[in-house]
Amino acid sequence: MFTGSIPALVTPFCDGTFSESHFRALVDWQIEQGSSALVPCGTTGEAPTLSFDEHYRVISICIEQAAGRVPVIAGCGSNDTATAVRHMEFAKAEGAAAALVVAPYYNRPNQDGIYAHYAHLAEKSDLPIIVYNVPARTVTDIQPATLARLAEIPTIVGVKDASGQIARVGEHRLGCGVDFCQLSGNDDMALAFNAAGGVGCISVTANVAPKLCAEFQSACANGDYQLARELNDRLHPLHTALFTDASPGPVKYAMTRVIQGFPEEMRLPLIPASAASKATVDAALEIAGLI
């Protein structure tokens, strides 16, 4: 259902307020550069710091500005199941193609609780769900056997896997079926992930290098792994640099280097990237040929 380079969009702020004009321009640029879908209100979009009204405004503007040119996968996750239902209801009404739903964080449910969470969401909404597994942030790890159970639910159509375990791509193919949509959640592992059976990446790097990331994903889809490796060599230092400080600090800084006037502002408790991180980002941007 979803393939290719899919940026997890940053949320631009000016003077503490969501900047609609910068965000609309970002959506247009991403589509023009070849991104195959868009994800607003993910982790990179600082969703935990957004009010309900802001969260919904970001989703609404993304869908409106995309205007059907690419699908929008709305960030709808929460550690409160009822809140996730509310997010999905809004996203469905606005015309989102799917919901990206992170595993419940902080509460630390067991595997049956994880299953019950997603099953309840699927019962309450027919919006397709991409399960997001990111144990480094949630503490909870969705085991392959649990994902296989979830894949039996018709509206649970894929996974954004940021477990860091490439072997799981094969496990998920066997447990969930070869048509289950597997998207990498780690840019630096996207090459191996695709070779193992993945079909794309929900990407941080694509915020700042959308054309290169789209070309990389296209090369993988076409089985041209020589070209894919060459593109990955250009992108790899950037993949690393964008996590040399708390994300999305480094990527917001990187965007000020490639998009004139793009705001670097963050929301507390996150702060802008350190000087050392910025120097690493600058060096990586030069290697990628972006500055």
CB 207 within 8 A of CB 246: no
Catalytic residue among 115, 118, 160, 278: 160
- Do residues 66 and 59 touch, judged by C-beta distance below 8 A? no
Our answer to whether residue 132 is catalytic in this structure is: yes
Rounded to whole angstroms, how far apart are CA atoms 260 and 235? 21
Please return the burial class of 136, using the count of CB atoms within 10 Å of its CB with bins 0-12, 13-18 and 19+.
Answer: exposed
Is 56 assigned a catalytic role?
no
What CA–CA distance (Å, rounded) separates 120 from 169? 25
Instruction: Answer whether 183's CB lies under 8 Å from 204's CB.
Output: no
Distance CA 103, CA 110 (A): 11
Q: Quote the tokens at residue 127.
A: 């919006």
**Contact partners, residue 231, CB within 8 Å, separation at least 6:** 212, 215, 216, 219
Rounded CA-CA distance 28/209 in Å is: 14
- Give the residue from 170, 124, 123 showing the smallest Cα distance to 147: 170
How many residues does the structure list for the chain? Answer: 291
Q: Which helix (H) or strand (E) holds 287?
A: helix 275-288
Choosing from 132, 252, 253, 278, the catalytic residue is: 132
Query: What does the DSSP 8-state code read for residue 183?
Result: E
What lies within 8 Å, CB to CB, of 8 at 6+ separation is 39, 42, 43, 44, 45, 202, 203, 204, 206, 207
Q: At what angle do helices 275-288 and 249-258 cross, to 10 degrees?
A: 50
Q: Report the catalytic residues.
A: 132, 160
